[in-house]
Amino acid sequence: MANDKVHYIAVGILATSGEEGEGTIKVVPWSSSVRLRAAVRVSGALLLAAFVAVFLPGLHFVLVPLLLLGAIVGGIYRFTRGETVSADSLNCPVCSQKLSYEQDNPSWPLALQCSACGAQMTVARTN
C-alpha cells in the first residue's frame, strides 16, 4: 500500500523541443487526519446531494442509492489517497534553471512549464 513517509523518486524530463534531463521529485504523503478531512468533505457533499435528491420525483429511486453509494466509495477512495508532489532537484533541460513545481495528487506524467524560458516538458518516473 501507500508509503507513509516522505520519499523521493527519480524522474526523466522530456521537453517538447526534444531536450532531455533527469531529476528528483519529492512525494509527501498526507497525514491520516488531512486525508480524513478530505474524505469527510467528499462524503458530506454526496450525502447532501442524496438528501436533496430525495425530493426529486421519480429520479430519487435512482439518484438516492447512487449518491449514497458514491458517498461511501468516494470517501474511501479519498481516504486511501493523498500526496503532495513537488520538485526537489529538477532543472530545465533547455535553460538549466531550477524548476519549481508543487501539486496535490497529480496525474503522471507531470506537465511542467519552465518559468525562466517558458519551455514545456513532461516529467515521468524512470522506474
User: Is residue 117 a contact point for Zn ion (CB under 5 A)?
Assistant: yes
The answer to whether 119 touches 95, Cβ cutoff 8 Å, is yes
In one-letter notation, the amino acid at residue 27 is V
Whether the upstream peptide bond of residue 109 has omega within 30° of 0, thus cis, is: yes
x/- map, 36-75, Zn ion, by CB under 5 A: ----------------------------------------
> Cell 532531455 belongs to which residue?
20
> What residues numbered 81-100 form the site for Zn ion, per CB under 5 A?
92, 94-95
User: Is residue 119 a contact point for Zn ion (CB under 5 A)?
Assistant: yes
d(Cα 48, Cα 58) in Å, to the nearest integer? 18
User: Is residue 116 a contact point for Zn ion (CB under 5 A)?
Assistant: yes
For binding to Zn ion (CB under 5 A), which residues are involved?
92, 94-95, 114, 116-117, 119
